[in-house]
Each structure stands twice: as structure tokens, then as C-alpha cells.
């Protein structure tokens, strides 16, 4: 089970244990991971972005994201409170192949993941889908609806990605806080069902 317990040191009769769930936000280069974390975070997000360089042009495919000038080189971090005593810690992963060695560290203790997808470059999210399926980490696919991109239904995206039966696919706008929160709620609900089913299997 993925959670952390920390002590609330505020004034009162005693310290209450707070529950923090770790969520990863993954996907291909330029799909909107940093944007999503920044949109939903209630704190100023921690970002580790660097400007794209000429050297990086050889390895970073900027097709379809020509206006992108920076890239995440370690992680993004944000936090959102669901209710008193329950928070989500959001970790945005770097999208390029050369930074994937960081994923194993970031995924430790994660409740689940959001895989952002761009229908113009749908193949870019295959590595993230494979990563979480292989490690049995619950995830949802969130299709970031870019202006001018052709619209596909959730079923079409699920079939194109050959997702396991039941894996949620949701449409979203990574810039919009409410839209991002809906994605996170769907993930938490789905991950909860998956973890409960696994626990029942172990005692069955």
C-alpha cells in the first residue's frame, strides 16, 4: 500500500497522523506534465526545468510541440489537499528516454500514476503505459485535449494503446485545475479498487 504518515505539529490537544498519497504524472515529451502539476498544486510547484539546447535537438523530438523551450530534467513536485488529513503528493516524471533511470526511484511507494497522452503523438506514451503495467502500478490515461488536435473517444484511445480491460481513459485539459482534479479523483478511486482487490486475493 502506498502512503506516508506524518505528524501534524499544529496547536491542539495532540498531533494527528496525516495521510499523504504519492501520485506520479508521466507521459511523453511535451505532453503537459509540468502544466498539470502546476494547475492543481495548492503550493508553488517545485520544478527542475532547463532550457532546450542545440545539443538536445538531436535526441528530443519537438514535432508537434515546436513552441516548447524548456524541459523537466529531474521531476516536478506539487501538493493538493483532498480533505483534512488527506493530501496527494504529485511527482511529475521527465519524459525523455535519457532520464528514465529516475523513474524507478520516483515510483517507490506510489499509489498510482496518471499517464498523459497527446493524440497527435499517441505513441509517445507507450513507454509509460508499459512501465506501469509491468510493475502493476495502477494508472489512468488522461488525454490532454490540445487545441486543433483531432478528438478521439476514450474507447478509441484505449483500443489504440491496447490497455488492459478496465484501465480508465479520461479526457482533460491539463491547464484547468478542475479538470486536473477530476483526473486525480478517478485515479485514486481506481487505485483504491485495485489495491482492495489485491488484498482480497491474498486472503482468499
Per-residue pLDDT tens digits for 90-103: 999 886 666 667 88
Q: Is the dihedral of CA 108, 144, 151, 28 positive or negative?
A: negative
Count of beta carbons in the 10 Å neighbourhood of residue 141: 25
What is the structure's pLDDT at 96?
62
* Cα–Cα dist 92/89, whole Å: 10
The answer to whether residue 10 scores a pLDDT higher than 70 is: no
Q: What is the CA radius of gyration of the chain?
A: 17
Residue 143 is predicted with a pLDDT of 97
Which of 97, 100, 30 lies closest to 62 in space, CA to CA?
30
What is the reported pTM?
Answer: 0.80
Express each pLDDT in 156-201 by its tens digit. Answer: 999 999 999 999 999 999 999 999 999 999 999 999 999 999 998 8
Neighbours of 7 (CB within 10 A): 10
* pLDDT at residue 99, as a whole number: 67
Amino acid at each position: 500500500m502506498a502512503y506516508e504518515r506524518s505528524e501534524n505539529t499544529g496547536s491542539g490537544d495532540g498531533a494527528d497522523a496525516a495521510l499523504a498519497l504519492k501520485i506520479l504524472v508521466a507521459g511523453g515529451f511535451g505532453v503537459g506534465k509540468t502544466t498539470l502539476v502546476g494547475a492543481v498544486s495548492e503550493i508553488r510547484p517545485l520544478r527542475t526545468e532547463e532550457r532546450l539546447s542545440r545539443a538536445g535537438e538531436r535526441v528530443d523530438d519537438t514535432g508537434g510541440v515546436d513552441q516548447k523551450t524548456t524541459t523537466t530534467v529531474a521531476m516536478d513536485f506539487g501538493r493538493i489537499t483532498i480533505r483534512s488529513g488527506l493530501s496527494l503528493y504529485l511527482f511529475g516524471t521527465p519524459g525523455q528516454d535519457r532520464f528514465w533511470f529516475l523513474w524507478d526511484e520516483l515510483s517507490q511507494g506510489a499509489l498510482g500514476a496518471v499517464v498523459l497522452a497527446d493524440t497527435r503523438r499517441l505513441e509517445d506514451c507507450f513507454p509509460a503505459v508499459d512501465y506501469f503495467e509491468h510493475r502493476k502500478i495502477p494508472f489512468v490515461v488522461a488525454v490532454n485535449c490540445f487545441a486543433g488536435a483531432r478528438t478521439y473517444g476514450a474507447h478509441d484511445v484505449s483500443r489504440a494503446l491496447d490497455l488492459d480491460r478496465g484501465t480508465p481513459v479520461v479526457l482533460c485539459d491539463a491547464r484547468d485545475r478542475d479538470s486536473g482534479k477530476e483526473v486525480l479523483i478517478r485515479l485514486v478511486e481506481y487505485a483504491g479498487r485495485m489495491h482492495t482487490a489485491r488484498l482480497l486475493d491474498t486472503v482468499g
